[in-house]
Structure 1
Amino acid sequence: MPERKPPRAAPLVLDVNSGYDELNLGRLALISGQKTVPPGLRRWQKTILTPDGRPVVITCTVPDDQVVPHGLDNDFMVGLVNLCFEAGLPDGPFTVSAYGLLKASGFPDSAQYYRALEESIVRLNKANYTIDEGWFMHGPHSWTTQSFAQVNYLSYVRSRSGVRGTSVITVQLAPPIMESLRAGYIKPLDLNFYRSLSQPLVRAVYRQLDALHFDESTADGLVRELSAPLMAWGSRLGILSDRPDNVARTLKPAHDELRARGYVAEVELTGRGRDKLLRYVFGPPPVGEYPELALLLSARGVKSGVAVRLSTVFPERIEEAARRFDHYLKISSRPVANPGGLLVAMVQRPEDFAELPGYAAADARPGPPPAETPAKGTGKGRSARQRPAAQDELDALEAREEAKLAALQGQALVDWVLKQLTLLGTMKHFTLPERSQLAELVLHGQLDGRTVVREATRAIAGGAPAVLAVVEDVRRHLQVTHP
């Protein structure tokens, strides 16, 4: 189970190349890839196949005043999943500004997209899904039946004109989604490539193909090509047509773009009428962001596709897991039947292998400094020579972080403050209007957000009374500024 990320000084705006996708969401395609859907479409049902060939029935229903999720909703859901990772996979709701969610979803800062954002998060909260024995969970009963809304809890503040950049949005993802994220049932997602694709349907096809591309049951953990009946594939993506020629015509721009970008090497359509079969041949296998870490895993028996996925999702764990694995092979009294599987488990569940006999973790916290032993031929111990250099490096790193924090201004500073107060558990004590006021005051320089975060951090050591004292201090400031 992935550990919670510690708080760190970084704005809660994702502008990076690599992100994550939860594999169930990627494979089940719960959101129609079509840019628009009929205004009266409030229910759909489809049957898809799991990677092992089992049929799964999925049903989506929405209230009378809504339509089913579609189009840009896919992008906002990808943004929410990655923001949830940035927030440390919290046990409860997490908070972000509307601007932060917009940027995490890959959209420009404009009134058009703020309107789309508000409509989307409401749809994601209102739409209820039932998945019949098709949601994968680790454990003895792998395929489970689930019923949920993707955004399980939603609250936000809007102005008269609607949601704007400083609007505070608080969300909680559905419990089965959170369980999957914490269990590591995720895959890397090239956010830079994903965001660069031109249309919602192109991004939906890419997301679906990329989720199915990673398959641990294959020889190297990757599917080289994929075939599906055209009509079933169109239904899976939410294309609302029962005519094969219309489905093929709708998919053609997506196929042309993905082929031109080199993601797929070939797209082949064979057969006639409703029996047409679609075949994709993937391009070069993914290398991942950390090929040297993937090599550490594959050299020890991990399938190449799995190595790419794990090294991208858990880069900070790979070297330590490899050391633990090598130590285990030395001390084990019997041969390891599945060395690759053992190393995967060490990466995904490090807590299960925390107490290996005779092993000292490389990243263990040091105790009191040992007495120095003079090195041969010198009057000083080796540790005495190395400690100043290590301390200088640490000081330089802290100085760089302080400089980055000092440079944060405007909306980036607002997002950093909201993230830190969420991680510290302080934000939950404020009402929604108070959160919105706080964001406005920080944005316009009427409240020093850095000082608020420092005080909230110090208050952690004093327990609940100290935390509530900080909350009351901020609340008094809000009341003075906005009586």
Structure 2
Amino acid sequence: MSRASRKATPAPPTPDAVMPTHVGDERRNGHDELNVARLSLISAQSRVPAGYTGWTRTYQTGERTVTVTCTALTGHVVPHGLDNDVMVAIINLYLEDGCPEDGTVRVSLHRLLLAAGLHASAHYYREVRQSLRRLQSTSYQITQGWWSQGRQRHLDATFNYLWKVTATRDEEYDAGSVLEIRLPDEIALSIRDGYVKPLDLTLYRELSSPPVRAVYRVLDALRWDSGSAQDRVTINLLEWGERLSIYSTEPDKIRRVLQPAHDELRERGILLDVEVTGRGKSQELTYVFAPVERLPDEELLRALTKRGMYPAVAGKYLTEHPDPTPVHLALRRFDAYPGRKQNAGALLRDMLVHPERYAEVVLLPPEVEPRAALPAAAVADEATDEVESRQLQEFQALSPERQLTRLERLLTFAKVTPLLSPTDRDRLRTALLAGQVDVTDLVRLVTREMGQDPARKADALRDLLPE
């Protein structure tokens, strides 16, 4: 293994580094793209020196020699600290939006902060603005280290972490700014191809500091590198320190830097143990993980992807909705749907998220009909009523923050979001979080008469909101 070359030596994590205050008390399941997490493209350090503008890492993995070079443009330092949290948020917002083909996430700065688990304070608005600039201005060159899920082999890749960031307002973004954040083609395609792993967003946000979250993010990616969760991961101590930008050749120093992360990950129940073998520079760490709680049903995942859903989108839905009944109903409706399916994956996802829109689809008889005495239409009506009732109950049981997230998705699918101004969205957010409007009324307004002009729905929504 050759050591990394670098343009400046980063400072070790310091206890007085700025740490975020995370918000939200509801468990959230998310995902992470495996390449960017495994390669550890963002430094684990909370802060870096002003002259730290690039680094190069080279290491051996099997028969491949992997080289990763990071270069920041003049006036910027390399991505670090909270940049991990911002990228995790952007990746999950891209998934929540259904993985648009253009790789673009459209989101307000306020919502981006919430998605990153940060308070909407002036401090974090400033930090996230700086983070977006760093991510857009930094380029990466990767040799034999970028896995192509579609081509099933490792490739070379060159890209900026964010390809483009634009805002509705010039210069300094504010809370009402609507951002268009475009992922590089390599990352967006990898997500659409399903090269992702589960990520417990609640647990990730609860970790105490950027260094601990960075260790967890990279370590969990190594755990999932084979495509399924491994019970144990073994890595050379010096290589591990290099991946995390702990630039030291002293094993004892690397272990001291890692110790707080090890302690916290054990306390959280993520790790069962950290075993150390060997001596000196030959030391290896073996991480022993707690079992994974639940994975998506493989048969349902295959059924959804076969019909055009992106694997990552299908996996996310199945992880968040373990009940198979709505999925089976959506699959039958999709197969019976008349006319041309121009975007099959988007149609199937819409059937899963909004079953009430497709209640009129006449179902094809299933291969095995458990209640053959009933007409297919009667079975469909009964199943639809049951699913819709359950979904409404689940919606009402959510926290206001989660209700807002679900409602924003619903507005996007109904093509209402583009017709709402930033002020409208802020009024909606404030009213819903303060309990000033009945979320059931909002859902019914958006879902009824789906063929209705979205502009009329937008007007009706404004009328429901308090001034």
Classify the TM-score, shorter chain: 0.5 to 0.7
The alpha-carbon distance between structure 1 residues 444 and 210, as it changes in their structure 2 partners (threshold 3 A), is: closer
Q: Secondary structure at the match of 1:151?
A: coil
The answer to whether the 8 Å contact 2:42/2:84 transfers is yes
The answer to whether the 8 Å contact 2:363/2:377 transfers is no
Aligned ranges for residues 129-208 of structure 1 at < 5 Å?
129-140=140-151, 142-157=153-168, 163-208=173-218
- Choose which of 240, 243, 252 in structure 2 pairs with 1:236: 243
Aligned to 1:285: 291
The CA deviation string for residues 391-417 of structure 1, in whole angstroms up to 9 with x for no partner, is: 543563576599799x979x976x778
User: Which residue type is aligned with residue 45 of structure 1?
Assistant: T
Q: CA separation in 2, counterparts of 1:225 and 1:64?
A: 41
Q: CA separation in 1, counterparts of 2:194 and 2:79?
A: 26
The answer to whether the 8 Å contact 2:147/2:154 transfers is yes
The answer to whether the 8 Å contact 1:21/1:81 transfers is yes
Q: CA separation in 2, counterparts of 1:194 and 1:60?
A: 25
Q: CA separation in 1, counterparts of 2:449 and 2:70?
A: 45
User: Which residue type is aligned with residue 49 of structure 2?
Assistant: P
User: Which residue type is aligned with residue 126 of structure 1?
Assistant: S
Shift of 1:367: 3.0
The CA deviation string for residues 103-153 of structure 1, in whole angstroms up to 9 with x for no partner, is: 221222322222211111111111111111211113446111111112212
Q: CA separation in 2, counterparts of 1:48 and 1:193?
A: 30
The answer to whether the 8 Å contact 1:42/1:66 transfers is yes
Number of residue equivalences: 385
The alpha-carbon distance between structure 1 residues 318 and 28, as it changes in their structure 2 partners (threshold 3 A), is: farther
Is 1:393 the counterpart of 2:386? The answer is: yes
Shift of 1:181: 1.0
The alpha-carbon distance between structure 1 residues 390 and 247, as it changes in their structure 2 partners (threshold 3 A), is: closer
Is 1:249 the counterpart of 2:249? The answer is: no
**Superposition RMSD in Å:** 4.8
Q: CA separation in 2, counterparts of 1:244 and 1:33?
A: 18
The alpha-carbon distance between structure 1 residues 422 and 120, as it changes in their structure 2 partners (threshold 3 A), is: farther
Q: CA separation in 1, counterparts of 2:209 and 2:93?
A: 22
The answer to whether the 8 Å contact 1:187/1:313 transfers is no
> Normalising by the residue count of structure 2, what TM-score does the alignment of the two structures yield?
0.67
Q: CA separation in 2, counterparts of 1:234 and 1:460?
A: 54
- Choose which of 25, 29, 51 in structure 2 pairs with 1:18: 29
Aligned to 2:13: none
Aligned to 1:367: 362
Shift of 1:252: 1.2
User: Which residue type is aligned with residue 393 of structure 1?
Assistant: E
Aligned to 1:302: none
Shift of 1:57: 0.5
Q: CA separation in 2, counterparts of 1:168 and 1:235?
A: 37
Is 1:66 the counterpart of 2:73? The answer is: no
Gaps of 5+ in 1: 1-12, 298-308, 324-349, 355-362, 371-375, 478-483
The answer to whether the 8 Å contact 1:26/1:208 transfers is yes
The answer to whether the 8 Å contact 2:40/2:244 transfers is yes
User: Which residue type is aligned with residue 268 of structure 1?
Assistant: E
User: Which residue type is aligned with residue 18 of structure 1?
Assistant: N
User: Which residue type is aligned with residue 170 of structure 1?
Assistant: E
User: Which residue type is aligned with residue 386 of structure 2?
Assistant: E
Aligned to 1:117: 128
The CA deviation string for residues 261-313 of structure 1, in whole angstroms up to 9 with x for no partner, is: 3322322344554x1423123133212266xx36999xxxxxxxxxxx99667
The answer to whether the 8 Å contact 1:22/1:185 transfers is yes
Q: CA separation in 1, counterparts of 2:233 and 2:111?
A: 36
User: Which residue type is aligned with residue 155 of structure 2?
Assistant: T
User: Which residue type is aligned with residue 172 of structure 1?
Assistant: R
Q: CA separation in 1, counterparts of 2:257 and 2:396?
A: 50
The answer to whether the 8 Å contact 2:30/2:92 transfers is yes
Shift of 1:194: 1.3
The answer to whether the 8 Å contact 1:168/1:439 transfers is no
Aligned to 1:97: 108
Q: Which has the larger radius of gyration?
A: 1
Is 1:34 the counterpart of 2:69? The answer is: no
Q: Secondary structure at the match of 1:257?
A: helix
Shift of 1:418: 6.3
The alpha-carbon distance between structure 1 residues 269 and 121, as it changes in their structure 2 partners (threshold 3 A), is: same
Shift of 1:246: 2.8
Task: Name the structure, 1 or 2, with higher relative contact order (CA <8 Å, separation 6+).
Answer: 1
**139-148 vs 390-399, which moves further:** 390-399
The alpha-carbon distance between structure 1 residues 40 and 313, as it changes in their structure 2 partners (threshold 3 A), is: farther
